[in-house]
């Protein structure tokens, strides 16, 4: 089994740049997380874009869909900002025959306390165990694309 | 869906006691990990024992099997030392109708670098997505009970 | 010996707010750092403001000077953003008879990798060992107020 | 100013070895801590031994004293296990004309929560600011050699 990981940015990959006193999307933390967990399945990581998900346009979303469609992998993990993760998941429903899982984090992976590492671990299992379809893996739960929203106030994902 | 978590000790829960200059099994880190990940499924954590898995006897193993059998939960996550995790998994095969997942860590959860958090996240997904059976979730992979061993030299689990 | 700590904000205390996808100054991390290090000298922590140091005005700076002047403590540690730390240090030179040390961080204290904890430890020693005067403690060095600048490009403080 | 660092082992450098399910003294964490803090003074790190301080013999102690004596550096930081740190400090009083500071940790530097990084920062300042003499830097305090003990029960150092 080979896992294809596409990264698109979002909170999970935010790093702090002292030079401009702000957090911006940096190198993806996912390869480091996989190494730290000594993951022994084969995986490939590719960065598609580095965007806050509020800045992801329809064109960006189409680019993500095309990358997933063209990939020879049948199991694809996508890291993505949480704010528009449900929209991207909905767009990916056009693809059939692949298990596609989106995850992200409410707190950057590089914080001492973060949900990122748990979420990546969780999503890495979902992608290996579920049948083809599009899923969001957040808050220790699996949600089906199109039936999930981010409750911004509560800071978590909820089934619709 | 309700998750029952039983903790039995092992490296994952080792803490450092300065008083005797050694690591021993301490309070389980799992509740903290679930909170940090803002897990929104219902879960209960219960400590069955606090043992290095090399010290787990047949009687201890029987106690674990009984606790799982008596539990009303259908999805049960067990944290366990890695050295004899395959033996405990094999013993649990006597139970049918429940999804039972064992996980642990090569490095204590309280280290700055650890596989524990990823593994807990991974196992938390396996337990929700797989049909009844007994599984070991380690190194980003799912292994069936009875078909897995720890390769101590390589520091990882492998399918038999 | 009693240490007075005044916090003013800056990178050291930045936390990530998912709700607006950005880092802002949060609760000061300094009490937590002191507890984690099991510091056994008496200390008091008081927040004067929560500002990026680029936003600290002359009026803010005057407020800091007054707080230091009015304090009955003779040894005062100030956490401050790095960009205008030299200016605030210079303003504090108006005060005599107290040992005043400013420190901060290039990376927030709540990151897994950060210079904040080392810097707080370093500054906590400088404040106890040096004679009255105003100092900046950064990059494992002590700089005198008025004789130091931040080299923004190199990401470190340098003696003038 | 050049800092010479000698490492001797102790809790601060303990790492977890899964192969034998225990913590042992590993590579010193001090270089990593200095890099993470972007320390810009010149420093050299040399490992003299890797021992739990309860295992440090009189011969080991003599070896440490000789290394300090032969060093051309005038400011020498020693990382050391806490249990017999006061004895080694006392032995070092035979040396004059150098500022010698011993520090260590109650919790390994590689834990997510540790006093090691603060202590190293604290000691790195003490060594630069104090006159020749032998000191222990622990719990955010400076103790003179010969006038300090570890209160094992309370888990901290105290002045005699």
- The tens digit of pLDDT for each residue in B84-134 reads 999 999 999 999 999 999 999 999 999 999 999 999 999 999 999 999 999
Phi and psi angles of residue B83, each rounded to the nearest 5 degrees, phi first: -65, -40
Q: Do B18 and D113 touch (CB under 8 A)?
A: no
Do A37 and B118 lie within an 8 Å CB cutoff? Answer: yes
H or E stretch covering B41 = none
- CB–CB contact B111 D155 (8 Å): no
Place A144 in a pLDDT band, splitting at 50, 70 and 90. very high
| Structural Rg of chain B based on CA atoms | 14
E-strand stretches of chain D: 2-7, 14-17, 22-25, 42-47, 75-79, 99-103, 133-138, 141-144, 148-151, 156-159
- List residues of C whose CB lies inside 8 A of any D CB: 33-34, 36-41, 106, 113-115, 117-126, 128-130, 137, 139-142, 155-158
| Alpha carbons A43 and D102: distance in angstroms, whole number | 46
Of C124, C139, C141, the CB nearest to D122: C124
Spell out where B88-153 has E strands.
Answer: 99-103, 133-138, 141-144, 148-151
User: Closest Cα to residue C121, out of D16, A50, D139, B2?
Assistant: D139
Phi, psi of D76 (to 5 degrees): -130, 125
d(CA C39, CA D121): 13
Contact flag A129-B124 (C-beta cutoff 8 Å): no
The confidence score (pLDDT) of residue A130 equals 97
Mean pLDDT (whole number) for A43-60:
96
Which segment of A65-74, B13-22, D2-11 scores lowest on mean pLDDT? B13-22
List of chains touching C (3+ CB pairs within 8 A): A, D
- Work out how many CB contacts closer than 8 A connect B with D: 52
Inter-chain CB proximity C122 and D124 less than 8 Å:
yes
Total tally of structural domains belonging to chain C: 1
Kindly indicate whether the ipTM for this predicted assembly is greater than 0.90, answering yes or no.
yes
The number of helices, as runs of H, and strands, as runs of E, in chain A is 4, 10
CA angle D22, D28, D30 (to 5 degrees): 135
Rounded Cα distance, B52 and B83, in Å: 9
**CB distance C118–D119 less than 8 Å?**
no
Which chains contact D through at least 3 pairs of Cβ atoms less than 8 Å apart? B, C
Length of chain B: 160
Q: What is the DSSP letter of C131?
A: P
Q: Contacts of residue B38 in chain A, CB cutoff 8 Å?
A: 106, 115, 139-140, 155-156
Least confident of A129-133, B105-109, C20-24, C145-149: C20-24
Distance CA(B110)–CA(B17), nearest Å, equals 13
Whether the predicted pLDDT of C19 surpasses 80: no
Phi, psi of A122 (to 5 degrees): -60, -50
Nearest to B23 among D22, D81, D155 (CB): D22
D150 close to D141: Cβ distance less than 8 angstroms = no
Residues in A whose CB is inside 8 Å of some CB of C read: 11, 14, 16, 18-19, 21-23, 52, 54, 81-83, 106-108, 110-113, 152-153, 155
| Contacting residues for C66 by C-beta, under 8 A, at least 6 apart | none
CB contact under 8 A, D16 and B21: no
pTM for the model:
0.95
Residue D120 pLDDT grade (very low, low, confident, very high; cuts 50, 70, 90): very high
D38:C115 CB<8 A: yes
Q: Give the pLDDT band (50/70/90) at residue D21.
A: confident
3-state secondary structure of D119: helix
| Structural tokens at position B109 | 């959860």
- E-only strand ranges, B26-144: 42-47, 75-79, 99-103, 133-138, 141-144
Count chain C–chain D contacts defined by CB atoms under 8 A. Answer: 120
Asked if B54 lies within 8 A of D106 by C-beta distance, the reply is no
Tell me, what CATH number does C139's domain have?
3.40.50.1170
Residue of A120, A123, A139 lying closest to B39 (CB–CB): A139
Range of the domain at A138: 2-159
For D131, which DSSP code?
P
Query: Chain C: nearest CA to D49, how far in angstroms?
Result: 24
Contacts of A82 (CB under 8 A, 6+ apart): A10, A11, A53, A104, A105, A106, A138, A150, A157, C18
Nearest CB partner across the interface for A18, out of C22, C112, C155: C155
User: Which residue, among D59, D42, D55, has the nearest Cα to D124 in the 3D structure?
Assistant: D42
Beta-bridge partners for C43: C3
């Amino acid at each position: 089994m080979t896992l294809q990981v596409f990264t698109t940015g979002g909170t999970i990959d935010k790093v702090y740049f002292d030079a401009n006193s702000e957090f911006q999307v940096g190198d993806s933390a996912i390869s480091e997380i996989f190494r730290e967990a000594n993951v022994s399945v084969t995986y490939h990581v590719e960065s598609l874009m580095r965007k806050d998900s509020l800045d992801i346009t329809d064109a960006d979303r189409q680019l993500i869909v095309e990358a997933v469609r063209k990939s020879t992998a049948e199991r694809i993990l996508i890291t993505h900002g949480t704010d528009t993760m449900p929209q991207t998941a909905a767009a990916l429903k056009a693809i059939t025959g692949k298990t596609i899982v989106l995850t992200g984090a409410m707190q950057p992976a590089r914080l001492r306390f973060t949900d990122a590492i748990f979420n990546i671990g969780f999503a890495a299992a979902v992608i290996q165990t579920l049948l083809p379809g599009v899923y969001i893996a957040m808050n220790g739960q699996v949600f089906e694309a199109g039936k999930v929203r981010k409750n911004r106030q509560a800071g978590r994902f909820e089934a619709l």
